[in-house]
Amino acid sequence: MSVLVYTESEQGKLKKTAFEVASYAKAVAEQLGTTVTAITINADDTSPLSNYGVDKVLTVTSSELSTFNAKGFAEVLHQAAEKEESKVVVLSSSANSKYLAPLLAVYLNAGYASNVIAAPSSTSPFTVKRSAFTNKAFEEISINTDVKIIGVSNNAFGLIENSGAASEETFSPSITDLGIKVESVDKASDKVSIADAEIVVSGGRGLKGPENWGMIEELAEVLGAATACSKPVSDLGWRPHAEHVGQTGKPVASNLYIAIGISGAIQHLAGINASKVKVVINTDPEAPFFKAADYGVVGDAFQVVPELIEKLKSFKAQQ
């Protein structure tokens, strides 16, 4: 009956989202009067999970699963859910979790709610709130199946500490045909990804050309942020597609989003609205972004950004 939570790791280290989904699973377990079982795949140290309400950790070590495989990982979670007789399975909104979730839903014949932003408002019927229409609305949905899968939106629930002692158990599921083979991975290990970033610094067409991105990258570096851009900027080839955020690009749910030289078109705003605090820097006081932002500077990015970098450097030095 335990709530099962998939706590992701990268190169053996648990990700921050692992603690957020564990916190969520704990909240659900309290509502249902049951315990939390976390499952990890090739994670080295699982002890921090006991700080977030996890009662038991199933550890899977498998060389076959050394690179992510949606089918293989979904099969592991499927067998873990059956072993624990879990009625609720909690996942994050990482690209990998979103990849495996629909397969797991089929294997468990479970209703799946993605982009969930709050603990269940009721457990019978099991009802959760999720974002829909690319953040232009919220939807309350009830899940009717015996087993339920919840995909928690990044940064929506937060971390809730709940110290305890988690027991650890080795779990050896049987893995068959994986179907897909990873040939190569191309990933900048020194950069924060948009999905994992707490702060995102984003540039638009107002920056005039790719040669001006140095200051965007420097600002991002000072803040430990990821860099992003508006759609025309990636369509023009100034920045890679992977940086395009918005309704048709990547969603952003960071704590802080800084938009520089971005007008704030509806399609852009839709994709970044889930960010908690928005700052806009734009020469045009009429730019629509000012209506969606928390803080704004009406000014020229070419003056404001370099000055902001200097001031942040001295601020950080004092911290």
Partner 1 sequence: MKILVCISHVPDTTSKINFTDGDTKFDTNGVQFVINPNDEFGLTRAMWFKEKQSAHVTVVNVGGPETEPTLRKALAIGADAAIRVNTPATDGFSVAKQLAQVVTDGNYDLVIAGRESIDYNGGMVPGMIAGLTNANFVNNCINLEIEGTSVTAVREIDGGKETVSTTLPLVIGGQKGIVEESDLRIPNMRGIMMARQKPLTVTEPVAANAETNSVKFEKPAPKGAVKLVSPDNLDELINLLHNEAKVI
Ligand X SMILES: Cc1cc2nc3c(=O)[nH]c(=O)nc-3n(C[C@H](O)[C@H](O)[C@H](O)COP(=O)(O)OP(=O)(O)OC[C@H]3O[C@@H](n4cnc5c(N)ncnc54)[C@H](O)[C@@H]3O)c2cc1C
Residue 188 binds partner 1, judged by CB under 8 A: yes
The residues, ordered by sequence, that sit 6+ positions from 144 with a Cβ below 8 Å of its Cβ are 111, 125
Residue 32 binds partner 1, judged by CB under 8 A: no
Helix (H) or strand (E) holding 318: helix 301-318
Task: Spell out, one character per residue from 249 to 278, where the chain touches ligand X: x when CB under 6 A holds, - when not.
Answer: x-----------xxx-x-xx--x-------
DSSP state letter for 207: G
Q: How far is the CB of 283 from ligand X (least distance, A)?
A: 4
The residues, ordered by sequence, that sit 6+ positions from 159 with a Cβ below 8 Å of its Cβ are 19, 20, 23, 52
Q: 62: annotated binding-site residue? A: no
Residues 220, 227 contacting (CB under 8 angstroms): yes
Which of these ranges, 35-43, 157-165, 193-201, 205-213, lies near partner 1 under the rule CB under 8 A? 193-201
Residue 232 binds ligand X, judged by CB under 6 A: yes
Q: How far is the CB of 98 from ligand X (least distance, A)?
A: 18
Helix (H) or strand (E) holding 221: helix 214-223
Q: Give the count of residues interacting with ligand X (CB under 6 A).
A: 26
Measure the CA–CA gap between 23 and 53, rounded to whole angstroms.
Answer: 7
Measured from the CB atom, the residue of 125 and 214 that comes closer to partner 1 is 125
User: Could you tell me where the DSSP H helices lie in 10-126?
Assistant: 16-32, 70-84, 95-108
Residue 182 binds partner 1, judged by CB under 8 A: yes
| Binder of residue 127, out of partner 1, ligand X, none (CB less than 5 to 8 A by kind) | partner 1
Residue 165 binds partner 1, judged by CB under 8 A: no
Q: 265: annotated binding-site residue? A: yes
Residue 211 binds partner 1, judged by CB under 8 A: no
| Binder of residue 262, out of partner 1, ligand X, none (CB less than 5 to 8 A by kind) | ligand X
Look-up: residue for tokens 């290990």?
Answer: 189
Task: Spell out, one character per residue from 160 to 199, where the chain touches ligand X: x when CB under 6 A holds, - when not.
Answer: ----------------------------------------
Measure the CA–CA gap between 243 and 231, rounded to whole angstroms.
Answer: 9
Residues 197, 88 contacting (CB under 8 angstroms): no
Q: How far is the CB of 205 from ligand X (least distance, A)?
A: 3
Q: Are β-strands 88-91 and 148-152 bridged in parallel, bridged antiparallel, or unpaired?
A: parallel
Q: 205: annotated binding-site residue? A: yes
Q: 267: annotated binding-site residue? A: yes
Annotated binding-site residue numbers for FAD: 205, 261-268, 282
